[in-house]
Amino acid sequence: MRLPVPLDRAYRLLNHGPTVLIGSAAGGRRNVMAAAWCMPLDFDPPRVLVVIDSATFTRELMEASGEFSISVPTCAQRELTVAVGGDSGREHDKFEALSIATFAGEQVRAPLIDGCVAWLECRVIPEPHNENRHDLFIGEVVAAQADSRVFSSGRWHFDGADAALRTLHHVAGGTFFATGDVVGNDR
């Protein structure tokens, strides 16, 4: 079940360094791409960083709309994650080509990806220097949700859940690590 995540806990959805899917939409077009380079920047208000190459269609849609979504994919979605990372959405709609189901966000028009385990809706905080020089975007998180099977009370808990629901960490070329077991106890 998808449940809202309080905004001051949204950073925890990305804190462990998963590879993510970036959703975007503008002018009747939409896109999704994979990004290994995405992390929190601040807790409250929650902000995130993501590197988006200037040649991508995602970049064009993000710049047109000032919005994007982050969906956190699972091991079961490895092939989808590789597929949307190796292909441009400029010439065709990846959602149709790859039968990717989506649902609507609460605050932004960028699509959220079905079957993922966490979702963050973001508004771009415009910083032309970072965007132009570093392909670096800053987003303010304006809504967040997570799959209660693996995230609740502000915390991931993959132990005891289906291993296919664990998140992905990109190594290179379509190979990932799954998120592993818990090390250490809460303090």
Integer Cα distance of 125 and 127 in angstroms: 6
Integer Cα distance of 45 and 140 in angstroms: 7
Q: How far is the CB of 64 from a second copy (least distance, A)?
A: 24
Is 130 or 152 the residue whose CB approaches a second copy more closely? 130
Q: Which of 14, 73, 55 has the alpha carbon at shortest distance from 38? A: 14
Is 16 or 90 the residue whose CB approaches a second copy more closely? 16
Q: Which residues bind a second copy (CB under 8 A)?
A: 12, 15-19, 36-42, 47, 49, 51, 75, 78-79, 82, 129-130, 134, 136, 138, 154-156, 158, 166, 168-187
b (16+ CB within 10 A) / e for 166-179: bbbebeeeeebebb
CB count in 10 Å sphere of residue 161 = 15
Integer Cα distance of 119 and 173 in angstroms: 24
Q: How far is the CB of 27 from a second copy (least distance, A)?
A: 29
Q: How far is the CB of 107 from a second copy (least distance, A)?
A: 22
Integer Cα distance of 162 and 64 in angstroms: 39
Q: How far is the CB of 100 from a second copy (least distance, A)?
A: 18
